[in-house]
Chain A
Amino acid sequence: MEKKEKKIVLEVEGLKKFYNDVKAVNGISFKVFEGEVFTLLGPNGAGKTTTLEILEGLKKHDEGTITLFGTRIKTVLPLHLKEKIGVVLQENNFIEHLSVVEILKTFRGFYSKGLKIEEVLEIVSLNEKKNSKVEKLSGGQRQRLAIGVALIGDPQLIFMDEPTTGLDPQARRNVWELIIKLKKTGKTIFLTTHYMEEAEFLSDYIYIMDHGKIIASGTSQELIASFGGKRVIEAHMNVDENERKELLSLFGESAEFEDSKVFLKTSDLPRTMKKLLDWVEKKRISLEDLIVRQSNLEDVFLKLTGRRLRD
């Protein structure tokens, strides 16, 4: 990757945040380069939102350093830096009884320079709804409005906290396309998600976070590749403790178990498949289902933590 030629927009080192005894963010470090879509991937409670809110200036960090656009952030995010960022929170609510246009105008008034209202409406495809009150918008439309509000100051860096949670598949797709569109205009996007497909589809670089720490990082291909195998055989069958041990000795570290499923990572599909089916036949185990698929980040996370992203 030619990251070294790109400008660093955001650098975080040893970031920590405590709530009494709970280490919500426990020493994370990363760099975000200009024009990237950078993703913090992790399950609920990993510390993603806390991290984001610290970077957005809503919370203060306890330890570590944050450098945003070359400025070291000590406590509060200074106003001139807020002019350069746009934020889509996990929950976005605006003053009620105002229309889409009125909300955009309100926020536009906060920035010394920015985009025109019509431009933003065009980008987020809300032209037809510009005079509608917020409460009349669907979930997807509200999220697009939230993105529009984040864009109104023509920011260089946009933070998005779980931008598609709670949206239907079509709305989610729309938001993805919007993010891709924004990336093409040169914007840097920092997003958090617990959806593996989202991270895979959108991200240039991914940091996987769990229990306040970064447990892995890389592009999605790097992450998948570094954790053994391009393909996964998913066998749905019930195996007891002894049978699990047998499988482990047969397939080594590429075998993972979850409830009544066995996952086998492999870069040599035919051989692994034959080995598995021979064993199943020998043991006379009932095989409910057999799926062959590509490895994904879910598998990576499972390998690293023993849990699924969605748990």
Chain B
Amino acid sequence: MKFFSNFFALTLNALRDKMNVFFNVFFPLMILIVFGFVFSGVYSPSNVKIGVVGNLPSVKGISLKKFENIQNLRKAIVERKEDFGIVRSATSLVIYLEPSNAQSNEYYISLAKKISAIVNEKMGATPVIKVVRKEVNFSNQDLSYLDSLIPGILVLSIFSAGIFSMTASLAHLRDKKVIKKLWTAPIFKWHFYGAFVLEKVIETYISIVFLLVIAMITFGIHYNVHWIGFSILLLSSTFGMMGIGMIILLFSPSAKVASEISSVIYTVVMFFSGVYFPVEIMPKFMQRIAYSLPLIYVVNAMKYVFGLRPMSKFNFYGLIFIMFAGFVLVLLGFAKMFKSE
């Protein structure tokens, strides 16, 4: 009864708190949709705009725009009207790239080389050795870049929900002396903390599932989600992230400081999560940082339950166990050390 009194009160509070709903649902949704649209065209040849000078054959699935001269083409590339350019001269094909497209240039080069091969073939220089490229992936599905991005985005949402539930919500209750008032009532600490944790876990679960469903509908993605594994991972990682939030809170004198530390950690960890930048393209020292943080493992586990990546059952359940165990350990320390004012 005492536990549920707290639980219902906290649930009502969460549902009526507009800021809470905004940051847990609408803001991540906005990020998801914007990123979805920004990144959806990255690896699709039909979306790439290529400017050409000289006689170049048309290629199925790739649109080429003709330019009168190199200067115009260069200008168009610089002005980002074209993603890259190819100029045919008597002896060479020059590929013009905009150097700041660091992430996409490799892909553009491969497209250019495809065209170059066709050109040479028409000149009678058919390659002696032909290269056939075959793309494989773990899920054996035809997935776009965005499809593999979404599980990572969900993990980042879990991460932010987990830490901010502690450093924003709980810290706020402490600063307002709401917790102090509760301790004058005949309840044990777990009646409140337990209810708080449960409410946040359920809230996170519902909002993440909601995000996933919206993403699948908006972008028409079909995953082979292992729903039980997904649920277990979602629950355990929420607990794990809350544990991190608790540690931050223990070192913060106020809600404001705790929120700020969380914002910093979130922004920095985001880059090391392997979600927006693959870890293998990072410098070695950054890879080491990435692998020392829990997020990358949770991202990999999430890709596993989405059928995008392999993971041994041992590693998966090991991670689940560590998340839960870590949370419990932190909770015990937290209950002892956390000052209610």
Contact = CB atoms under 8 A, between A and B. Distances in A.
Any A–B CB pair closer than 8 Å: yes
A93 interface: yes
Contacts of A79: 186-188
Contacts of A112: 186
Contact of A153 (B173, B176, B183, B186): B186
Interface string B1-37: 1101110111011001100000000000000000000
A210 to B, nearest CB: 25
Looking at chain B's contact residues, the main secondary structure is: helix
A98 B9 CA distance: 7
Given A98-B9, A102-B12, A106-B5, A89 B181 contact: yes
A111 B184 CA distance: 12
A92 interface: yes
Contacts of A110: 2, 5, 185-187, 191
Contacts of A105: 5
Interface in A34-75: 56-58
A97 interface: yes
B181 A97 contact: no
Given A102-B9, A102-B12, A105-B5, A94 B184 contact: no
Given A82-B184, A111-B186, A93 B177 contact: yes
Given A58-B180, A94-B178, A95-B173, A107 B12 contact: no
Contact of A97 (B8, B17, B340): B17
A259 to B, nearest CB: 37
Contacts of B184: 56-58, 82, 85, 87, 89
Interface string A109-132: 111100000000000000000000
Given A95-B178, A106-B6, A110-B2, A82 B186 contact: yes
B18 to A, nearest CB: 9
A97 B12 contact: yes
A96 interface: yes
Query: Which residue, of A82, A91, A92, A95, has the highest number of chain B Cβ atoms within 10 A?
Result: A95
A83 interface: yes
A98 B12 CA distance: 7
Contacts, number: 75
Nearest to A94: B178
Interface residues of A, number: 30
A106 B178 contact: no
Contacts of A91: 177
Contacts of B178: 93-95
B1 A58 contact: no
Interface residues of B, number: 26
Contacts of B173: 95
Contacts of B13: 95-98
Given A56-B184, A87-B184, A109-B4, A93 B12 contact: no
Contacts of A109: 1-2, 4-6
A111 B2 CA distance: 8
Contact of B185 (A80, A82, A95, A98): A82
A85 B4 CA distance: 22
Interface string B188-221: 1001000000000000000000000000000000
Contacts of A153: 185-186
A82 B185 CA distance: 6
B181 A92 contact: yes
A57 B9 contact: no
A106 B181 contact: no
A102 B15 CA distance: 14
B35 to A, nearest CB: 31
Contacts of A149: 181
Contact of B177 (A56, A89, A98, A102): A89
A58 to B, nearest CB: 6
A152 B297 CA distance: 49
Given A89-B177, A93-B178, A95-B13, A58 B183 contact: yes
A89 B180 contact: yes
Nearest to A96: B13
A150 B88 CA distance: 86
Nearest to A91: B177
Contacts of B1: 109
Contacts of B17: 96-97
A301 B287 CA distance: 70
A130 B188 CA distance: 28
19 contacts: A56-B184, A57-B184, A58-B180, A58-B184, A85-B184, A93-B176, A93-B178, A95-B9, A97-B13, A98-B9, A98-B16, A107-B185, A109-B4, A109-B5, A110-B186, A110-B191, A111-B186, A149-B181, A153-B186
Interface of B: 1-2, 4-6, 8-10, 12-13, 16-17, 173, 176-178, 180-181, 183-188, 191, 340
- 9 closest A-B pairs by beta carbon, nearest first, are A109-B5, A82-B186, A97-B16, A87-B184, A106-B9, A110-B185, A93-B176, A83-B186, A79-B186
Given A87-B184, A110-B2, A153-B186, 15 more contacts: A56-B184, A57-B184, A58-B183, A82-B184, A82-B185, A82-B186, A92-B181, A95-B13, A97-B12, A106-B8, A106-B9, A109-B5, A109-B6, A110-B185, A149-B181
